[in-house]
Amino acid sequence: MMRLKLEPRAQNSAFWSYGSPVLALLLTVVIGVLLFMALGKDPFRGLQMFFWEPIRSGYAWGELMVKATPLLIIALGLAVCFRSNVWNIGAEGQFVIGALAAGGVALLATKETSRWIVVAILMAGMFGGMAWASITAFLRDKFNANEILVSLMLVYVADLLLGYMVYGPWKDPNGFNFPQSKTFEAVTSIPRLMQGSRMTIGLPIAMAVAAALWIFLFRTRAGFAQQVGGLAPAAARYAGFSSRRALWVAMLCSGAAAGLAGALEVAGPIGQLTPYVPAGYGFAAIIVAFVGRLHPVGMVFSAVLMSMFYIGGELAQSRLGLPKSITGVFQGLLLFSLLACDTLLAYKLVIKSDAKSAVKSNLGGAA
């Protein structure tokens, strides 16, 4: 009798380090086809919504980059955390507070305000995200609080704070009682890259952040110390590195990245503060980070893939009559497929013959 068995590898597989995300994507597609068939939809048409429509034209590519920009920026910040063994799950809250801080600066602008206020808006977003992340860092540093729980719970506090501001002090008096701030002045809008597209300078900023992160992690002593300080505190202390410093650097970098993404979003495509600023980017960026293997180059591609899921979900909702949750379904499928496929990093599948069963079968036949 032949059976499949998982056997430990002597060391992690270099091939499956890169092959696992590809296999996870293929599994996601296969399960997606079965899902469309179960819902009574044309699977080819369904896959077209997710993998062809988002890239079929120049305008579609522009919209893809609009979605990919915040996902990439947040994922880059989270990669610093995860490589440092700091589990920041609350990037969504840091994104919201960054948007709130940036929106507060934008609301101060008038028609006579200088265009340079955009710089102040982006800085406010970064400092807002850093301030919110520092709460988690402080509680972990001083009281050894679990950063997963603290950062996650702070997401809901951030959402409530945003709701309070748009339903209360910052509510537009001329907004027909809708819970939203007034529309920001034109001088506060993030500059666009080209006419006829919503792409902003956020895209080159994101690519610059990716390049800076690659240099920091793989070409500087500080980046090496950051990773050692998080993964092996005892070894870090022996080498003179500070695990405490690794915690603060990781959380502040992640908070700044999430806050920057929030500022780019609220002063870019949205143009005002509303209760719908939280778009789930902070949670989706966790998947982006791991699908991209916590590497800046890999995260560029995984951010594009995740933004295809966002746009594909919107198109499937409007054209195929599927629920809005289809986006989350595909994101979840990709994550769980990746977790399953990552088993092949440390284990290999081997085909074994059950010798005892074979002997018993032969004896039985002889009898």
What is the model's pLDDT at position 363? Answer: 43
pLDDT in tens, 289-323: 999 999 999 999 999 999 999 999 999 999 999 88
Who contacts 99 (Cβ-Cβ below 8 Å, separation ≥6)? 125, 128, 162, 259, 262, 263, 265, 266, 273, 277
What's the average model confidence in pLDDT over 156-167?
A: 97
Distance, CA of 286 to CA of 74 (rounded, Å): 8
Query: pLDDT tens digit string along 104-116?
Result: 999 999 989 999 9
In this structure, are residues 172 and 38 in contact, taking their beta carbons and an 8 Å threshold?
no
* DSSP string of 12-76, one letter each residue: --HHHHHHHHHHHHHHHHHHHHHHHHHTT--HHHHHHHHHTGGGSSHHHHHHHHHHHHHHHHHHH
| Apex 190 CA angle, 188 and 195, nearest 5 | 120
Q: Alpha-carbon Rg of the chain, whole angstroms?
A: 24
- Quickly list DSSP for 285-305: HHHHHHHTTT-HHHHHHHHHH
Q: Where are the domains of the chain?
A: 42-321
Candidate ranges 2-6, 44-48, 75-79, 225-229; pick with highest mean pLDDT: 75-79
Quick check: 146 pLDDT over 90? yes
Three-state DSSP state, 280: coil
Work out the average pLDDT over 267-290. 94
Tokens 């009559």 label which residue? 321
Higher pLDDT, 351 or 218: 218
Mean pLDDT over 159-168 rounds to 96
Regarding pTM above 0.95, the answer is no
Indicate the class that CATH gives domain 42-321. mainly alpha
Rounded Cα–Cα distance for residues 103 and 247 (Å) = 28
